Chain A
Amino acid sequence: MRYYLLLIILFMTLAAVYAPVHCVAAEPEQVPTDAVSFQPVLPVQTGDVPAKSSTQPADVVSDEYDEEDDFDYEDEPFAEERVTIADPIEPFNRVMHRVNDRMYFRLLKPVAQGYKAVVPEPARISVKNFFSNMGYPARFLSCLLQADFSGAAVETGRFAINTLWGIGGLMDPAAGEELGLRKQDTDLGQTLGVYGVGHGLYIVWPFFGPSSPRDSISLVGNQFLSPLSYFYPWYVSPGVIGIQVINATSLRIGEYESLIGAAIDPYVAMRNAYIQYRMKEVNARKAKSLLFKSSEASHPVADTTSRTEN
C-alpha cells in the first residue's frame, strides 16, 4: 500500500512541478551567425561524393537532380514505410513527454544505475528472463489470434522448457543453439494491427511513455494475463512493475539518451520512432500469420551472383 501511494504522490509532484514550466514554448533566441565556424565539406574519396558540387557554381547542384524535379522520394522502394500518426492532443503529450523525460533522468536512471552497480549483469539478465517468461500467456494468445500457430507452438515450447529446465524462467535454454526457439515478440496491440486496426491517435502516458489507444490494450492485457498478477495482493503490483522497469532500464541505459541526444525535436523524434517501430513489428507479424502471409509480398531476395560480376 505504501509503495502505491508513494508512487502516486511522487508522480503528482513531478507533474505539478514540471507541467507549468514546459507549457510555455521556448522563444528561439538569436545566435549570431558568425559565431558558428564552418567546416568545409571535404570529400575524402575523389569524385563520387556529390557534396563536392557545393564548391561549384550554384546551378550544378540543381542540375545534378534535374531529371528528378518532382522526385519526392514518394516512389521509393521504402516509401510504403512512410508513416504518420494523428496527434490531436499534442500539448498534453508534450507535457507528458517532458514529465517522463525528467522522471527518467532524475529518478529512474539514477536508481537503475545504483541497481546496476550492485547486481551483476548475469543476474539482471536472469531477472529479465523471468519476467519475460511470465509474459507467455499474452504472447501465446496474441499468436493464436494472429493465426500464427507455429509461433504459438514455439511460445508454448519455450514456456515449458524455460520453466522446467530454466529454473522457473530465470534462464533461457530454449533460445540456445540446440533448440533455437526464439521469443515471439508480440502483443495484443500488434494483433489488432495485424487485422488492420490503426493507432487512432498518439498518446504519451505518464510512466509508460509513447502509446496509442490500440497499443494501450497491450499495457492492460499484459498485466491482466501475467500469472504474476495473481500471485500477490494487488497493492504489491506497482512494486513488482517497479523492479521490472528498473531491471530492464539497467540493461538499456544509454539508448534513450542517444535517441534524445541526436534529435532536433526530441518529442517528434520519439513519436516517429515509436510508430516506425510498431509498424515494422506489425508487418513482421503479418508475414507470419497464416491469414495474411500470401498477400504480404516481401522484397525480392538478393541476386548476388549477378551483382558481384559488375
Chain B
Amino acid sequence: MKKRFIVFSLLIIFILSVPAFAGAPTVAVDKTVKRVLDVLRDPKLKSPAAKEIKKEKLRVIYKDMFDEMEFSRRTLTRNWKKFSPKQQEEFVNLFEQVLEKSYIDKILDYSNEKIVFYKETMIQEDKAEVQSKIVTSSKEIPIDYRMILKDGKWKVYDVVVENVSLVQNYRTQFNEILADGTPEQLLQTLRKKVKAQ
C-alpha cells in the first residue's frame, strides 16, 4: 500500500513538473541551446587551441537551428526577386558569414549565465515565438526566437535581442542600400564587410 502510494505520488510529481509552456518550438530551441552549452562547457575543448574545433561544432548546430534561407529572404523582402539565383546563393552565404563573425566571440565568451525559457506564443499554425532571457549578475537580457515549422521541424528565422528584431534591423539597412543601389553593390558591401571582420 505504502509502495503504491509512493509510486503514485512520484508519478504526480513527474506530471506536474512538466512546464506548462513547453510546446514543440520551445523544446526545439531548448535542445539546441543545450547542445551549444555542451560544446562551450566541454572540458576537452577548454584550451585556446580548440577554439576552431568549437567554432566548427557550433556552426553545425547553427545550420541545424536556423533557417538561413527564410532569414535572408525576410531581410530582403521584395528585393529578393531582383537577385539572380547565383546572387541569392552568394547573399545567403555572405550574410551567414557576417553574422557568424559578429556573434561567435560573444557566444564563446559565455560563462555560465543562466538561460531561462519562460514563454511560448503560437502566432499561427506554423509560427511561434519563444521568449527567453539570459540572467547575469547585473542585468537580464531578453532574447526571443521567432520560429517557423517546415517539414515537421521548428527552425529559427528571426532573433529578437532586447526588443530589437535582427531581421527588421537588417531589412532597413539593406533597403537603404538597395533603394539606389544594385544587388551587386550590396553583395560588394557584404564582401568587404566579411573581409574586414
Contact call B21/A302, Cβ cutoff below 8 A? yes
Contact call B188/A276, Cβ cutoff below 8 A? no
Q: How large is the interface on A (under 10, 10 to 19, 20 to 34, 35 or more residues)?
A: 35 or more
Contact call A77/B127, Cβ cutoff below 8 A? yes
Closest to B89 in A: A54
Measured in the bound complex, the distance between the Cα atoms of B18 and A304 in whole Å is 12
Contact call A51/B69, Cβ cutoff below 8 A? yes
From the candidates B70, B96, B128, B172, name the one contacting A50 in the complex (CB within 8 A). B70
- B64 lies within 8 A of chain A by Cβ: yes
**Chain B binding surface, main DSSP class:** helix
Contact call B177/A301, Cβ cutoff below 8 A? no
Q: Distance (Å) between the CB of B81 and the closest chain A CB?
A: 8
Closest to B141 in A: A255
Q: Identify the stretch in A14-22, A35-43, A227-235 within 8 Å (CB) of chain B at 4 or more residues.
A: A35-43
Contact call B93/A39, Cβ cutoff below 8 A? yes
- B121 lies within 8 A of chain A by Cβ: yes
Contact call B177/A304, Cβ cutoff below 8 A? no
Task: Please indicate the chain A residues that have their CB under 8 angstroms from the CB of B174 in the complex.
Answer: 264
If A31-B192, A262-B98 touch, does A51 touch B92 (CB 8 Å cutoff)? yes
- B60 lies within 8 A of chain A by Cβ: yes
Measured in the bound complex, the distance between the Cα atoms of B148 and A50 in whole Å is 12
- B139 lies within 8 A of chain A by Cβ: yes
From the candidates A48, A61, A261, name the one contacting B85 in the complex (CB within 8 A). A61
Contact call B169/A49, Cβ cutoff below 8 A? no
From the candidates A38, A39, A276, name the one contacting B169 in the complex (CB within 8 A). A276
Contact call A72/B63, Cβ cutoff below 8 A? no
- Give chain B interface residues in 52-68, CB to chain A under 8 Å: 60, 63-64, 67-68
Task: Please indicate the chain B residues that have their CB under 8 angstroms from the CB of A300 in the complex.
Answer: 121-122
Contact call A301/B121, Cβ cutoff below 8 A? yes
Task: Please indicate the chain B residues that have their CB under 8 angstroms from the CB of A269 in the complex.
Answer: 169-170, 172-173
- B16 lies within 8 A of chain A by Cβ: no
Contact call A258/B63, Cβ cutoff below 8 A? no
| A-contact 0/1 string along B141-156, CB 8 Å cutoff | 0000010001111010
Measured in the bound complex, the distance between the Cα atoms of B84 and A84 in whole Å is 28
Task: Please indicate the chain A residues that have their CB under 8 angstroms from the CB of B146 in the complex.
Answer: 78
- Give chain B interface residues in 159-195, CB to chain A under 8 Å: 162-165, 168-170, 172-174, 176-177, 185, 188-195
From the candidates B97, B138, B173, name the one contacting A39 in the complex (CB within 8 A). B97
Contact call B176/A265, Cβ cutoff below 8 A? yes
- Give the interface of B toward A (CB within 8 A): 20-24, 60, 63-64, 67-70, 73-74, 77-78, 81, 84-86, 88-90, 92-94, 96-99, 102-103, 106, 119-124, 127-129, 137-139, 146, 150-153, 155, 158, 162-165, 168-170, 172-174, 176-177, 185, 188-195, 197
- Give the interface of A toward B (CB within 8 A): 28, 30-31, 33, 35-36, 38-45, 47-51, 53-54, 58, 61-62, 65, 72-73, 77-78, 81-84, 121, 124-125, 128, 251-252, 254, 258, 261-265, 268-269, 271-273, 276-277, 280-281, 299-304, 307-308
